[in-house]
Amino acid sequence: MPAQANYFRPLLVASLLLGACSNAPQDPVFSDCPDCPVMVTIPAGRFMMGTAVADRADDPVSGRPNANEEPQHEVTIAQPFALGKYEVTVAQFAAFIQDTGYNASQGCIQLREGPGRLRLDPVLDWRNPGFKQADDEPVVCVSLDHALAYTAWLSEKTGQNYTLPSEAQWEYAAKAGSTGRYFWGDDLSRACDYANVNFSQEPPPCDDGYPDIAPVGQFQPNAFGLHDTISNVWEWTTDCGHKNYEGAPTDGSAWIDDENCQLRMIRSGGVRNILTRTTHVVRAGRPKTGTAPNLGFRVLRTLGADPTVTPAVAATVPREAAKAWPVDSEAGRLFKANCAQCHTDPNTLKGVYGTDVDTIRNLITDGGNNIMSMPAFKDRISAAEIELITGYVMQQKDWN
């Protein structure tokens, strides 16, 4: 374990004592059933969440430092928990579907070359994400609701409390006592030993042998024994979308200011992201009903009562019940063609960067904001069409 891990050592003894009177397994690496994920016990401790100003990477679109990783702040994880050693695999998710008959087919974003490359393909889903997958690869094309349905099934199946990690729990476990942007250090030539990385826009210092998503566990783990905490696929957390850490909890709990918030945070980065945008601290937001061919999840299991953990509660309202965007106008048709694959209903637009017309127009025009990672629509539609979409969003949201 690296020297930085001494930072949380004072709470390690307390976490072990708590485990003695909880449902914590004796073995720190365990599985609750043959089809269940392998779990790793994560000790209690403290860590610095976010990135120091001097260490922030620049946003690839704006060229400015990523503001959504600030302010750096101390977080205390008072209770130990268990986190998936690997991302949930295709085979594990298939066992859930077979056992429950759950319908996780709702289409998936397809990545294409050129303008308009992000499109919702209604045929694609976790079984067919647009490319061939092996059973031991991480399941993708799953929404937050799908992931929570899976954890609810695990909870019922095992009698334990499974859910998804909060952002703080995820980052604490991913860093595993390290303090830099990468748990193995700053030497990028070692990246291929620890992560499935993408050097498509950078000079490659190494070759990891996988041009796309890799089977889980192919790279060396971090100090806690977790694999693929950097890259391979993005991973869902339970937190609502927030543009930075101003006002964030410091106890490791999920930051949920609205139980029905539509925008949720994802972490880790994916193999299709460049390495500088694939670290322990990089964060983005996605509509909770959204799916993507580079987005999956790993599960958390509580070890005893922990009031900071959000229970696994799957959505009971079907997607069809959500309010639809009207398309009875040219502006509505433009919005559906360019935006509705991510913003599936008006509730998924929260106005986190502002609700004035200039802010909305600029976001549509330039994209690349730190939370939603929107594309720059100026590269694909005309200025007049951007004005139509801007007015349409303002009207539908009743923003003045």
Residue 337 lies in a domain: yes
Structural domain of residue 201, as residue ranges? 3-89+126-302
User: CA-to-CA distance for 177 and 268, rounded, in angstroms?
Assistant: 16
Burial track 241-262 (b if 16+ CB lie within 10 A, e otherwise) = bbbbbeebbeebbbbeeeeebb
Lowest mean pLDDT among 152-156, 202-206, 305-309: 305-309
- pLDDT at position 311 is 56
Q: Is 318 exposed, middle or buried (0-12, 13-18, 19+ CB in 10 A)?
A: exposed
User: Under 8 Å CB-to-CB from 188, ≥6 apart: which residues?
Assistant: 205, 206, 275
- pLDDT at position 170 is 97
Residue 190 lies in a domain: yes
The number of angstroms, rounded, from the C-alpha of 324 to the middle of its chain's C-alpha atoms is: 25
Same-domain check for residues 9 and 130: yes
Task: Determine the longest span between alpha carbons in the chain, in angstroms.
Answer: 65
Same-domain check for residues 294 and 230: yes
Q: Which of 66, 72, 20, 13 is nearest to 43 (CA)?
A: 13
Which of the pair, 16 or 237, is modelled with greater confidence? 237
Instruction: Supply the mean pLDDT for the chain.
Output: 82
Which of the pair, 341 or 161, is modelled with greater confidence? 161
Residue 112 lies in a domain: no
Same-domain check for residues 234 and 379: no
Quick: pLDDT tens for 304-353.
765 566 555 444 333 333 467 787 888 888 787 777 766 766 766 766 66
Residue 96 lies in a domain: no
β-strand 295-296 against 283-287: which pairing, if any?
A: unpaired
Give the C-alpha distances (Å, rounded to integers) separating 289 from 143, 145, 363: 5, 7, 21
User: CA-to-CA distance for 294 and 139, rounded, in angstroms?
Assistant: 9
Same-domain check for residues 54 and 160: yes
In the chain, the number of structural domains is 2
DSSP 179: -
Same-domain check for residues 254 and 363: no
CATH number at residue 178: 3.90.1580.10
CATH number at residue 326: 1.10.760.10
β-strand 263-267 against 162-163: which pairing, if any?
A: unpaired
Q: Which of 46, 50, 56 is nearest to 73 (CA)?
A: 50
Same-domain check for residues 211 and 283: yes
Residue 352 lies in a domain: yes
- pLDDT at position 309 is 62
Start-to-end CA distance of the chain, whole Å, equals 54
The SS3 of residue 376 is coil
Residue 297 lies in a domain: yes
Same-domain check for residues 217 and 296: yes
Same-domain check for residues 279 and 349: no
Same-domain check for residues 289 and 365: no
User: CA-to-CA distance for 205 and 181, rounded, in angstroms?
Assistant: 17
Residue 201 lies in a domain: yes
Same-domain check for residues 186 and 261: yes
Q: Which of 273, 302, 331 is the last residue of a domain?
A: 302
Is residue 253 within 8 A of residue 308, CB to CB? The reply is: yes
Quick: pLDDT tens for 70-102.
899 999 999 999 999 999 999 999 999 999 999
Q: Is 265 exposed, middle or buried (0-12, 13-18, 19+ CB in 10 A)?
A: buried
Residue 100 lies in a domain: no
Whether the pLDDT of residue 18 is over 70: the answer is no
Same-domain check for residues 210 and 326: no
Same-domain check for residues 53 and 138: yes
